[in-house]
Amino acid sequence: MKQHRFFLVFLALAAWVVSGCAADSSTKSADNGSNNTNGGNVNVGGVQDIGVFRQIVESGGIPGPDTLDANGFFSEHHLEIPAEDCGENLCLFGMLGRGVSLLSNDFMNVLQVGFKTFVNPLDYERPPTDFVAVIDVSGSMYSDSKLEYVRQGLHMMIDSLEPEDRLALVVYSDRAQERLQLTFADSSENRSAMHAIVNQLVAGGSTNIYEALGLGFDIAATSMQEGRYARVVFLSDGQPTAGITDTESIVALARERATKTSQLTSIGVGYDVNFDLMRNLAMAGGNFYFIDESSALVDIFVEEVKSFAFPIAENVHLTVSATSDFALGDSVGFESFESSASGGEAFFPALYMATRTSSQTEDPNARRGGGSAMFVRFVPTPSSSFSLSGMLLTMTYTDPETGETVGPQNLMVSDMGEEGFLPENEYFSHEPMRKAFAMLNIYLALKEVCTKAAAYDFAGAQELLSQTIHHARWVNEVLGNDPDIAADIALMEKLQTNIQWNTGYDCGYEGGCMVEEDVVYYGCHAAAGSRHVDWMWLVAFVLGLAILRRRR
């Protein structure tokens, strides 16, 4: 009888395992400056990686489309920007691309618009800065090594501070308290005191994010009064459970308190991170990272926190003019882009220097810091001759050190075409645009794959993902095995495996495998409309009963 019961349990387990958790080409020659790779790329802030998306995939799940952010995806790719030195700290650039879209299987015309700095990030010296670390020590930080990751990262951050920098430590659970006032990192005694407080962090209690952020910005305000720059470094799993808990109020607080000299870096930890809250905090006044593995710690706590402490440009205003031959379509990578019949414009409060200087990284899994990428798709009008004449890019910005307005800088898009026209076949104005176009194509396709999976169209998701992987492999052969595209392929192959196994479960439309009250979870959750799973369990149960009755 024990054998029969074991077999019944085995059938049920087998059903659960099988069902899974639902979760003619031309390239313009290098005379456009594509050989010029001095200086570095630029970041516009916001989401800085796809750590949440990647963690869901690596955990065997299917991410929801909202976990794949354009700026986060693009920031994990480095592009050799073909911009000539304009003589300023920030230079405007543009590239044209025309190729077949993975989504429409038709030609897509893309204008990549962006910025490059010729201040080399390796030589960059930021001004003395005050860092205010606001650390979540609530009970939820005890699980999944969340607090241990935070400790390791803070120790790295303390060791990387310059003597003129200051650090304050705020811890919070039910209430927020300042454990270390702003202290210079100018002596071994001071650094030892910082390390000691970090070592003493213990998790317990609820999560009062609103009060903690308020205290962090209060401390940063004293820095502003002293004429110093400040960066509030907010570390949490983003689950508010005490004090003011509605996310709109928390985001409004960040939007109100963040200034040009007092910015916010949000760092998410843990499987159950509230991605929407952390991302919205970043958009309110800073940037967001997710710690998906220990290799991310150096990227985030050392390289990125230092580079984001001080902007290289402020009040950046960009305009793109349309023509009678082409109308502007949608944009990707621009959170603030607004289009009209005459063109479009975008405003960026601050721009920061990206840290990566090539596609190669010491750690192949640490791909943050590539810089932002922004694309505008444009479509020919019915009477279009494909002339680019009259399409113009213009930029002005404020120098943060002098307060003076720089610009305008102008670029004629017609100079990027062939004799002022956009060719009818595949075309890339500069060789780096081939990678940029592929990156955009992969992002758009991946977004649609996750959208299809979230709507239970697993067959459609699988078909589009297979096409995307095949396309990415072909492009990467042309590029000579680019490490960033290779990383995309590896991630997509893992996602492909997950979709093959993870069918029949509710993967949600916003988060990961399950979405409940805007919180991303990684566990399995059977959908009410998922008859496939119920059917598997029913078969296992009936077979088991039949075997038992036959044995009797």
- 3-class SS at 103? coil
**251-262 core/surface letters (b: 16 or more CB in 10 A; e: else):** bebbeebbeebb
* 36 DSSP assignment: -
The first and second tokens of residue 261, run together, are 């000299």
Dihedral sign of CA atoms 56, 371, 309, 151 in order: positive
Q: Provide the residue count of the chain.
A: 552
CA angle 145, 48, 521 (to 5 degrees): 45
Q: Crossing angle for the helix pair 483-501 and 458-479, nearest 10 degrees?
A: 160
How many whole angstroms separate alpha carbon 31 and alpha carbon 337?
30
pLDDT of residue 516: 35
CA distances to 119, 353, 374 from 116, in Å? 9, 9, 12
Phi, psi of 497 (to 5 degrees): -65, -40
Query: Token match 């990262």: residue?
Result: 153
One-letter identity of residue 280: N
Backbone Cα Rg of the chain: 25
Average pLDDT of adjacent 10-residue blocks, the chain of 552 residues: 34 32 37 41 69 85 88 84 80 92 94 81 73 90 80 89 93 93 95 94 91 94 87 85 91 86 81 79 75 64 63 86 87 80 82 59 50 83 90 91 89 91 93 93 95 92 96 95 93 93 50 37 32 40 48 46
Q: Tell me if 66 sits within 8 A of 508, measured CB to CB.
A: no
How many whole angstroms separate alpha carbon 542 and alpha carbon 202?
50
CATH of 129-307, one of 3.30.70.270, 3.40.50.410, 3.40.640.10, 3.40.50.300: 3.40.50.410
CA distances to 237, 325, 424, 428, 444 from 376, in Å? 34, 15, 18, 15, 13
pLDDT of residue 310: 64
> From the CB of residue 274, how many other CB atoms can be counted at a distance below 10 Å?
23
How many whole angstroms separate alpha carbon 433 and alpha carbon 94?
10
H or E, element range at 276: helix 275-285
Q: Tell me if 449 sits within 8 A of 405, measured CB to CB.
A: no
Cis amide prior to 121 (ω within 30 degrees): no
Return the percent helix, strand and coil in the chain, to nearest 5.
40, 25, 35
Q: Tell me if 450 sits within 8 A of 73, measured CB to CB.
A: no
- 3-class SS at 320? strand
How many whole angstroms separate alpha carbon 347 and alpha carbon 351?
11
pLDDT of residue 444: 96
Q: Tell me if 403 sits within 8 A of 2, measured CB to CB.
A: no
- 3-class SS at 408? strand
- Domains of the chain by residue range: 26-122+313-501, 129-307
pLDDT of residue 533: 38
β-pairing, 129-136 vs 166-172, is parallel
- 3-class SS at 71? helix
Strand ranges (DSSP E) for 10-61? 26-27, 40-43, 46-47
